[in-house]
Amino acid sequence: MNNSEMHCSPDYHLGHVILEHSKRHADTVCQIDAATGDEETYSSVVSRSIRLARALRNYGLKPGDVVAVGGRNHLDLHIPVYAALYDGLPSVGVDPYFKYDEVRTLFNLTKPKIAFCQNEHVEVYDKAARDLGLELKIVTFDHGNCTMSEFVNKYDTDEPLDEFKVAKIDVDKVNAFLVSTSGTTGKVKVAAFNHQPFMLKWLKVLQMSRMVKGHKRTLLISPIHWISTCFTIFSTPLTGDTKIQTSKPDDFDHIVYIINKYKPRNVLMSPTLMSYLMTRKDVDLECFRSVTVTGSRIYPDVFEKFKTLLSREAVASIAYGQTEMLGPILLPNPAGPSGNCGQPLPFYDVKLIDQETRAEIKEPHVTGEMWVKGPCFTEYYQDPEETATAFTADGYFKTGDLLYRDEKNNYFYVERIKALIKYRNSHVIPIELEDIIRKHPSVKDVCIIGVSDPLDGERPVACVIKRQGMEITAQEVKDMVASKLSKNKELRGGVVFLNAFPQTSSGKLARAKLLQVVMNSKRE
């Protein structure tokens, strides 16, 4: 695979790339559900996704209409995403653990016309849509009033599969993916990605990382709503790799089983999973040839110990990137100094900015906020104000992350400026929890921050100021959050009661000082 094989005409998009390359690997196994042992070839995936694409057209969807997809990583999950790409329909992944408030927020931002999910989520999806006044068609993967197979049988035609044509779209206006993210304010936002920037960046990344030889087994752990899953959906048809995934709920023991049984060669994992695997003596990590660890801060000494458990042929690296920048900003440098995240990819202009003076940092070993210019998201979907705020006047994206570089231009991650908390593989957006807790009559103010944890990455802590003369217990605070939000957002870091929050000279919350207070306080 190389760029010369791509017919990159102005209207060429991801749907063309995926369909053309999937057909080249027709007899290769495309995906395996390790929970059931079921597997499916690229030929079958092509057939099912084409039939669904035709059904979506006949149902009445037009390029630009949004498709929501939620569920665990079973064999049906990516079929609507492929079909949507053929038709020019942006898809948005929905966390399968989302509860009503979270689904409602996402649907309010993206306004989907159709949603694919498990039957157990239909009631929540339907209520969120009705409360927002959306006309939403809900199609289920398993059973219910309208399953995906029933939808296809009703709306598909009997035309030969080889006569199917990918939709012609305006690639400058129609998005490929919508990915939920959070900016420096902690507000829920949706990053929109156009077809060609996504396609051209990842073609270059695949070539640079030498992942194009293909026909390898790749362990897919990322959920449907992560940018890394969007990359996997795009890259596996190009390489002919087999996705090893699972429809079973989150379970690290199950991942050990998958590794031992299927011997995957490639994996992108979180530091949390890496730390867990290091505690297991019964897992065979020597099957891996490429291991990339990313998602939250990684302790260099732990990473170096982890590498000793891999085979001599394995390449293990720490990756740094952002959802808004289409994933990686730096090319991992496994041969570099311990703890480095790599060097800037050649199509990115990267600089570090002093937080106090706002001047560019030229010298090595000085920490600053990373600003980046290059291939990135198109906009925060339907949010021009947040889009404008995210960039400088000269086009640099402000990552909100603190890093430094050494004399050889290797970058090292320090900390996030952002309020976003990463618990295992989940994003925890503080304002969601704060809005719930703040409704209690005894709460005067609340701030959610993350405390570092070697296994979980970060755990949310609620810092609460009580109203004078009123009482609320730590358990009541925890129960409020648990009753409204998914389990990954529970207050596992505890609750701290304070009299006041530290502030900066400008009157803003001093998060760094607050974290120090929390670390020296009793957490209930």
- 155 in the same domain as 99: yes
Tokens of 515: 């974290």
Let me know if residue 159 belongs to a domain: yes
Let me know if residue 264 belongs to a domain: yes
Q: What element of type H or E holds 110?
A: helix 100-110
Let me know if residue 192 belongs to a domain: yes
| Model pLDDT for residues 206-219, shown as the tens digit of each residue | 877 655 466 699 99
- 122 in the same domain as 240: yes
User: In whole angstroms, what is the distance from residue 232 CA to residue 245 CA?
Assistant: 11
- 214 in the same domain as 323: no
User: In whole angstroms, what is the distance from residue 83 CA to residue 46 CA?
Assistant: 9
- CATH number for the domain that contains residue 350: 2.30.38.10
Residues 6+ apart with CB under 8 A from 5: none
DSSP label at 391? B
CA torsion 253-254-255-256 (nearest 10°) is 60
- 353 in the same domain as 290: no
Q: Is the pTM of this model over 0.75?
A: yes
**pLDDT number for residue 296:** 72
- 212 in the same domain as 66: yes
- 375 in the same domain as 426: no
Under the banding of pLDDT at 50, 70 and 90, the label for residue 505 is very low
Mean pLDDT of 508-516: 80
% the chain with pLDDT above 90: 73
- 221 in the same domain as 174: yes
Let me know if residue 127 belongs to a domain: yes
Q: Pick from 250, 273, 291: which residue ends a domain?
A: 250
Let me know if residue 442 belongs to a domain: yes
- 241 in the same domain as 119: yes
- 190 in the same domain as 108: yes
- CATH number for the domain that contains residue 116: 3.40.50.12780
Of all residues in the chain, what percent are helix, strand and coil, respectively (each to 5)?
35, 25, 40
Q: Poorest-confidence range of 318-332, 427-441, 469-483, 506-520?
A: 506-520
Mean pLDDT of 17-22: 96
**pLDDT number for residue 184:** 39
| Model pLDDT for residues 383-432, shown as the tens digit of each residue | 999 999 999 999 999 999 889 999 999 999 887 776 678 888 777 878 78
Let me know if residue 30 belongs to a domain: yes
Phi, then psi, of 165 in degrees rounded to 5: -120, 135
Instruction: Reply yes or no on whether the pLDDT at 75 is more than 50.
Output: yes
Instruction: Reply yes or no on whether the pLDDT at 5 is more than 90.
Output: no
**pLDDT number for residue 4:** 40
**22 lies in which domain range?**
3-250
Q: Pick from 416, 434, 462: which residue ends a domain?
A: 416
- 454 in the same domain as 329: no
Q: How many domains does the chain have?
A: 4
Instruction: Reply yes or no on whether the pLDDT at 250 is more than 90.
Output: no
Beta strand pairing status for 330-331 and 327-328?
A: unpaired
Cα 248 off chain centre by: 19
Query: Which of 126, 81, 80, 84 minimizes the C-alpha distance to 103?
Result: 126
Q: Which residue has the higher pLDDT, 428 or 89?
A: 89
Q: Pick from 232, 250, 268: which residue ends a domain?
A: 250
- CATH number for the domain that contains residue 468: 3.30.300.30
Mean pLDDT of 173-178: 95
Tokens of 208: 């640079």
Let me know if residue 145 belongs to a domain: yes
Helices 14-24, 79-87: axis angle to 10 degrees equals: 130
Helices and strands (H, E) in the chain, number of each type = 15, 28
Instruction: Reply yes or no on whether the pLDDT at 506 is more than 50.
Output: no
- 225 in the same domain as 278: no
Let me know if residue 524 belongs to a domain: no
| Model pLDDT for residues 425-472, shown as the tens digit of each residue | 777 878 789 989 999 999 999 999 999 888 899 999 999 999 999 999
460 touches 421 (CB < 8 A) = yes
- 163 in the same domain as 26: yes
Instruction: Reply yes or no on whether the pLDDT at 53 is more than 90.
Output: yes
User: In whole angstroms, what is the distance from residue 38 CA to residue 33 CA?
Assistant: 5
In the chain, the N- to C-terminal Cα span, in Å, equals 55
